[in-house]
């Protein structure tokens, strides 16, 4: 009976040590990355870096498991995003949120060009093994109704084609509301970014959960 008791204690200690080892590996593992590939709306135009929505989303997540990277550049387009995508993918992101296209639309870029650039970006990101979330964009009402409607539809079409995450409108609840924008009426202020952060967080949460389950 003494030997049996000693063996029982040995087994208990062994399992405790194994549990501690597994736990230490989990805690020390590098957090997964979410990269936000965007323009001034993502960069946080004229705001402190910690007030842009990618940083705010980072604060909503478990920092031991996820980190966010703001790859927003003011004035960027889908062509610009495509040209720097290799640099973005060097960070080995688990999820890439593509929030580009509005500058293309404001410049009257052809719809085919915008969609083609988004197509190439999404395909390349998926080939890298990362998941994709597309943030939809809309144009001001002073643009022709036909162009505006077709422009807004592009993002849903690409998301459906590649079966990726989709946020219908990045500026939902923020656009055209002076209290949530800077004096230019185009770029969100700190309060606006808080709303965007909640919108995007809700949109990417299902993708985060799938990644944690080992799915894309």
26 is catalytic: no
Distance CA 120, CA 47 (A): 31
Other C-beta atoms lying within 10 Å of the C-beta of residue 71 = 23
Catalytic residue among 39, 76, 131, 187: 187
Catalytic residue among 40, 104, 131, 193: 40
Of 145, 152, 154, 157, the C-alpha closest to 171 is 152
Catalytic residue among 30, 62, 127, 184: 184
Residues 167, 135: contact at Cβ < 8 Å?
yes
40 is catalytic: yes
Of 69, 74, 98, the C-alpha closest to 187 is 74
Distance CA 122, CA 157 (A): 12
Of 105, 92, 98, 115, the C-alpha closest to 142 is 105
For CA atoms 132, 138, 139, 145, give the dihedral sign: positive
Distance CA 53, CA 99 (A): 12
Catalytic residues: 40, 184, 187
């Amino acid at each position: 009976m003494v030997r049996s008791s000693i063996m029982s204690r040995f087994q208990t200690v062994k399992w405790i040590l194994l549990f501690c080892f597994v736990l230490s590996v989990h805690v020390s593992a590098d957090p997964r990355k979410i990269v936000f590939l965007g323009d001034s709306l993502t960069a946080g135009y004229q705001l402190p870096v910690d007030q842009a929505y990618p940083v705010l989303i980072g604060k909503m997540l478990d920092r031991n498991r996820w980190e966010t990277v703001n790859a927003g550049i003011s004035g960027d387009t889908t062509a610009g995003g495509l040209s720097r995508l290799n640099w973005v993918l060097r960070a080995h992101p688990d999820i890439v949120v593509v929030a580009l296209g509005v500058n293309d639309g404001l410049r009257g870029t052809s719809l085919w060009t915008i969609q083609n650039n988004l197509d190439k970006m999404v395909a390349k990101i998926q080939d890298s093994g990362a998941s994709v979330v597309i943030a939809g964009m809309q144009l001001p009402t002073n643009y022709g109704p036909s162009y505006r409607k077709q422009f807004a539809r592009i993002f849903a079409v690409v998301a459906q084609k590649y079966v990726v995450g989709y946020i219908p409108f990045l500026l939902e609840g923020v656009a055209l509301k002076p209290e949530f924008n800077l004096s230019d009426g185009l770029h969100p202020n700190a309060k606006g970014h808080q709303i965007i952060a909640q919108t995007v967080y809700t949109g990417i949460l299902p993708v985060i959960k799938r990644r944690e389950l080992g799915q894309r």
